[in-house]
Amino acid sequence: MVQSMPDASPAKWHLAHSTWFFEQFVLGADAGYVPINTDWLYLFNSYYQSVGPMHARLHRGLVSRPGLDEVRGYRDEVEARMARAFTQDRFDGDVLRRIELGLHHEQQHQELLLTDIKHALWSNPLRPAYREDLAPAPARPAAPMTWVDGATGVVEIGAPPWPGSADFAFDSESPRHSVLLQPHALASRPVTNREYRDFILDGGYRTPTLWLSEGWARVSAEGWRAPLYWEPGDEREFTLGGMRDIDLDAPVTHLSYFEADAYARWAGARLPTEAEWEHAAARQTVHGNFVEAGHLQPVAADAAAGTLQQLYGDVWEWTASAYLPHPGFRELPGSLGEYNGKFMCGQFVLRGGSCASAAGHLRASYRNFFTPPDRWQFSGLRLARDAA
């Protein structure tokens, strides 16, 4: 039931909501369907105004009933009803596509479960661990950071519209379209904890000229002086494995857009655009430190210098691009059109996935998005710069 802030949800709610999605949009597609509990359609709706009202997000932690056993029973019953419908061949092509969307939706909530649990446990003064037996991160020095020239000229980014394409992509990733890339270079790896600590020691959080106006107001109002979860002294941090020494060679994480942007200015660089990032990532296979590795924490890069490393996994990388529709964007029809499009205001794009993401969930065109102050996600940064 614990809800440590309005932007996070209780673990029980995540379990119920991801189940609600299948009941509402898959089983509920049958006009004669009888809901398991009509009250739960209200409790576990997230933001789909077109299907009915919902309980306020910031009060999800007050939902003491149904209890966890009832929620697990709800999941079991929805699974059983889905299984019967499959065996009876009752799902047509449209509903099968909703199921595929629902599976990707569930993967998103599996990641949010971990980030929301981490914030909840950190909010406890005892700093309890989510798992004491987390796989230790490899102890190794980070590869040297070098600059890798990016493509210049007109390139294509984005995904073919799904479900027209056989490969799944959210509507916000489509369609494929042309963009013009100016001469630029990307850093070979994300910024490390050691490098970010240098920014702190150089007065980065005390220098207003490095910050966007709204970012400086947030720093001043909330007393930011280090990434979220760093303890005073900048030697220890809270992880899903409890309090641990900061791995100075691992990518820095739990940064807001404001912090990522300020660091880039301090370093004499900038954040990459999402087009620069995607075109570079599209030439690589999706591999990296994902949830399957069991670290649940970023690890140091070990690839050879001069190549682009850690584009996938470890940390979501803030870009300089606002979360806006691609040219020719079309929302999914009906209520599912509320999934992405209505959030294209006041948010910035992150790319690449994190140590809490499922490897099979990601691709070069995948667009994550959060508001500039958000930093409870595994978010970090990669530098970019203009080239002559």
For residue 263, how many C-alpha atoms fall within 13 Å in the half-sphere facing its CB? 31
In a domain, 4, yes or no: no
In a domain, 69, yes or no: yes
- Residues 272 and 233 grouped into a single domain: yes
Q: pLDDT tens for residues 301-344? A: 876 656 899 999 999 999 999 999 999 999 999 999 999 999 99
Query: Last residue of a domain, which of 89, 122, 155?
Result: 122
In a domain, 127, yes or no: no
Q: pLDDT tens for residues 258-294? A: 999 999 999 999 999 999 999 999 999 999 999 999 9
pLDDT > 90? residue 136:
no
In a domain, 160, yes or no: yes
In a domain, 210, yes or no: yes
In a domain, 235, yes or no: yes
- Residues 194 and 276 grouped into a single domain: yes
Q: pLDDT tens for residues 42-88? A: 999 999 999 999 999 999 999 999 999 999 999 999 999 999 999 99
Q: Would the pTM count as exceeding 0.85? A: yes
Structural domain count of the chain: 2
In a domain, 268, yes or no: yes
- Residues 72 and 159 grouped into a single domain: no
In a domain, 27, yes or no: yes
Query: Last residue of a domain, which of 87, 122, 157?
Result: 122
What residues make up the domain containing 27? 11-122
pLDDT at 165: 82
